[in-house]
Structure 1
Amino acid sequence: MLLAAVAVTALGQTLVFTLLPSLGRATGLAEMQVGLIISCSSLVFALASPVWGTLSESLGRKRVLVIGLSGYSLGTLMFSLVFDAGLHGWVSGTALVAGLVISRMLQAAIMAATPAAAAAYTADITTPEQRTRGMGRIGAANNLGTVVGPVSGGILAAVALVFPLYGVAIITGLMAVLMALFLPPSPHVPTERALSLGQTLRKGLSAYADPRLRDLLLTGVMLFMSFALIQQTLGFLFQDHFAMSPEGAARALGLTMMAAAITSLLGQLIVVQWLKAAPTVLIIMAIPAIGAGAVILWLADAQTIMSLAVLLIGLGLGFGMPAIMALASLRVSAEEQGRVAGLASACPALGFILGPLVGTGLYTLDHRWPYLLVMGLTVPLAYLAWRLVKNSG
């Protein structure tokens, strides 16, 4: 049940990211406006994630999971209705952008509960020796949703571009009901003393200042910023470089992201679950994979080659994220797992704050510049990986 909730959340997120370039073009939005939608919602998600992780200490993991899925369902419905209004010409320009940004930010504020509580639940039911494999299963479930999301979105987009978003709202709503009815409670015993809202906010957000976690946080943010730079510009590149329609680009990007998720999933199953690689080894393997993918995207001129490059990047991300979540969990006590799970879950959102805006901004100057920046990011990532290995050894 826990892994299904993670998979459904990933399905919805990936589907939205796959459709956004095409939906943006179809409603007359500029590339930077599409990037703004993702960046604003990612900022809210990043702030809310450690707060929800902290709340899971007192409310319980299961309750927070159900809240997150319910909020995701309602938020997606709101986001879909605004886009539908834009496609029909009922709202446009600044009003459309404002409606999309606000609805997505409201959604992000609640849906941030799900990944944080899922990671904390996993920490509750695994020993330190099992932690990397446990977080790897969370990553595998995330990748499974990422596999299904793009291909289903590409197929359903043939009916109508916004149609897949309504499907996400229904699926996540049903998952919230199933979780409430059938998920066993976590073995974690909720704290009896409930914190005030101000105390909860301070305790949750203080995770960002924890010196034990700074290197991991920075590594995770840079990994996901690299991915965001690519994901949020590739759909535009397919439309501009290969003269695809918005619907065709959505299908092509969906298939590319699905293939990347499959590669990431296989890498996690083989390297994390079967070979039981250490977290630091996973980090070391992640960086050259992402760097090689960026180099190929910079040089390639064929859609097939570009898609193969994204496979490498997906593989690197599949290695990196479980490692960061496991290392963060192992550095703190049992009483801090919720807060730290929220911080680790915020890494993707933090990467997507700057990634889409910077990526789409660079794209307007030159279509390949976002991938040049990803190549540059591998240098500080390599230094951080060296520090992680040194400090663990």
Structure 2
Amino acid sequence: MLTSSASTTVFRILFCALLATSVGQSVMLTTLPSMGRQANLSEFHIATIMSSSALIFAIGTNVWSKVAKHAGFKRILMVGLAGYSVGTFAFASAWMAGFSGIIGGTNLFLALLISRSMQSTIMSATPPSAVGYAVAISSAQGRVSAISKVTSASNVGQIIGPAYAGLLVGVGLLAPLYSIVILTLMALTLVYLKLPILAPSAQQHAAQSVNTDNPSKTKSPYIFVGACVCVFCAMAMMQQTLGFFFIDFYNYTPVEAARQVGFAMMVSAAASLTAQFGWVQKGRVSEETMIMMALPLLGLAYLLLFLQASLFTLYIAMTLMGLGMGMAYPSLAAAATTYCTPSQQPSITGLITATTAMGYIVGPPLAASIYQYDIALPFATASALLAVTTCIIFITLQQLKKSGQNT
């Protein structure tokens, strides 16, 4: 185990690495619907790009999780950051070719799909290596806090990214994407120079410190992983829909819609960050309690989005969504890694870091399909999904409590 000061430094470096990629992802999600409309691509084109790259990301995360265990977390984290930088440049360049009229229609769609998919193949190395490192240097009791310290970078990125995108879209819709390359290269340099190489024995700690009293495999971790997928599927439906919703319901231009989406995501991310720093990382509430607070809150948030008649209601919904997300992911991730057996640890870590991508496999195409019938229907569907998820998790936690497996 690392010393307290060394652990603090490591968490800060891992935070910065994930922050760079999170800013990049939030910039991309903020501007993607507007770029699609600008290039005359349909909602289905944008959904296909998001869904296909998410599928590759989900598969890649599982593969890289196992590779990182043997090749080293630092080395694989550097691979992920390098791939993100090169992939972002290629993806932005494909858009540039489309806006310049060099390619268009099906050719542009294929260029975007291929470049984004290739990017996902390599950048999927980043989350499992960062989270795996955090789990390896933390105790079982401190796992919720450790995961939250690292994954809170996502929330900070969702605050910075939309504001950053909104500032630069005035220069051009592609300016935010190109500038992200510089940010991820800076993160790569930081990891290379400052992140210590974790000893093989320390890396094995992650697979030896969980549920050592229960050698048999259990299905409980997979239920928590599934719940995490549902949480991100609902979020993907919202992000796929929101940009188009601002254009079609509030009659904003593509650039104005990108700015409004950015502000809405900032509000949500700020609330999420408040939840994580306010009580999640302090460890005063059990992971089970946080889960049962977060899931109903998310269901309510999506219901309000469906019922909205004004921007005020929308921002209230985004605030509630942020609070729910701030508690949901770290608590579900901690529950999954706590209730798994040592032999399940590598695969569960890979799965839990792939849940975002898994949600984005189904969410965007589903949202794009039902958007054609009613532009607010994706929000209602997301709310119903979270309601069902809440019931399943409640039953699972009750069963674990009865069987005496809860920590």
1:110 aligns with 2:122: yes
Structure 2 Cα separation of the partners of residues 121 and 341 of structure 1: 11
Q: Deviations over 1:59-90 (max 9, x none)?
A: 00000100000000000000000011111111
Structure 2 Cα separation of the partners of residues 380 and 391 of structure 1: 17
What amino acid is aligned across from residue 100 of structure 1 in structure 2?
L
- Name the structure 2 match of 1:362: 370
Structure 1 Cα separation of the partners of residues 144 and 282 of structure 2: 12
**1:162 maps to which of 169, 174, 184:** 174
Which stretch of the first structure deviates more once superposed, 178-187 or 129-138? Answer: 178-187
Native 8 Å contact 1:328 1:340 kept in 2: yes
Native 8 Å contact 1:290 1:312 kept in 2: yes
**1:44 maps to which of 13, 35, 56:** 56
Native 8 Å contact 1:133 1:276 kept in 2: no
Aligned runs of 1:288-303 on 2, under 5 Å? 288-303=296-311
Provide closer, same or farther for how the CA distance between residues 335 and 190 of structure 1 changes in structure 2, counting only shifts above 3 A.
farther
What amino acid is aligned across from residue 21 of structure 2 in structure 1?
T
Native 8 Å contact 2:83 2:122 kept in 1: yes
Aligned runs of 1:324-363 on 2, under 5 Å? 324-332=332-340, 337-363=345-371
Structure 1 Cα separation of the partners of residues 344 and 166 of structure 2: 40
Which stretch of the first structure deviates more once superposed, 25-34 or 276-285? Answer: 276-285
Provide closer, same or farther for how the CA distance between residues 316 and 243 of structure 1 changes in structure 2, counting only shifts above 3 A.
same
1:315 aligns with 2:323: yes
Provide closer, same or farther for how the CA distance between residues 227 and 353 of structure 1 changes in structure 2, counting only shifts above 3 A.
same
Structure 2 Cα separation of the partners of residues 372 and 72 of structure 1: 34
Q: Deviations over 1:35-79 (max 9, x none)?
A: 110000000001110110100111000001000000000000000
**1:283 maps to which of 256, 278, 291:** 291
**2:254 maps to which of 246, 249, 256:** 246
Structure 1 Cα separation of the partners of residues 32 and 87 of structure 2: 16
**2:140 maps to which of 128, 134, 145:** 128
Structure 2 Cα separation of the partners of residues 372 and 144 of structure 1: 27
Provide closer, same or farther for how the CA distance between residues 191 and 6 of structure 1 changes in structure 2, counting only shifts above 3 A.
closer
**Alignment RMSD:** 1.8
Provide closer, same or farther for how the CA distance between residues 333 and 64 of structure 1 changes in structure 2, counting only shifts above 3 A.
farther
Q: Deviations over 1:110-139 (max 9, x none)?
A: 111110011110111110010011111122
Structure 1 gap segments, 5+ residues each = 193-208
TM-score normalized by the length of structure 2:
0.89
Aligned runs of 1:72-83 on 2, under 5 Å? 72-83=84-95
Q: Deviations over 1:250-279 (max 9, x none)?
A: 011001101100100101112212353211
1:86 aligns with 2:108: no
**2:188 maps to which of 163, 167, 176:** 176
1:305 aligns with 2:316: no
* 1:339 shift after superposition: 3.4
**1:140 maps to which of 129, 152, 156:** 152
Provide closer, same or farther for how the CA distance between residues 336 and 43 of structure 1 changes in structure 2, counting only shifts above 3 A.
same
What amino acid is aligned across from residue 118 of structure 2 in structure 1?
L
- Name the structure 2 match of 1:216: 224
Q: Deviations over 1:324-352 (max 9, x none)?
A: 22122223456754432221010010000
Aligned runs of 1:223-262 on 2, under 5 Å? 223-262=231-270
Native 8 Å contact 1:226 1:377 kept in 2: yes
- Name the structure 1 match of 2:400: 392
Q: Percent identity?
A: 33
Native 8 Å contact 1:229 1:374 kept in 2: yes
Native 8 Å contact 1:10 1:146 kept in 2: yes
- Name the structure 2 match of 1:269: 277
- Name the structure 2 match of 1:185: 197
Which stretch of the first structure deviates more once superposed, 380-389 or 244-253? Answer: 380-389
What amino acid is aligned across from residue 339 of structure 1 in structure 2?
S
1:67 aligns with 2:79: yes
Which SS does the other structure have where 2:141 is aligned? Answer: helix
* 1:210 shift after superposition: 7.6
Structure 2 gap segments, 5+ residues each = 1-12, 205-216, 402-407
1:7 aligns with 2:19: yes
Provide closer, same or farther for how the CA distance between residues 219 and 159 of structure 1 changes in structure 2, counting only shifts above 3 A.
same
Native 8 Å contact 1:58 1:190 kept in 2: no
- Name the structure 1 match of 2:36: 24
What amino acid is aligned across from residue 37 of structure 2 in structure 1?
R
Which SS does the other structure have where 2:185 is aligned? Answer: helix
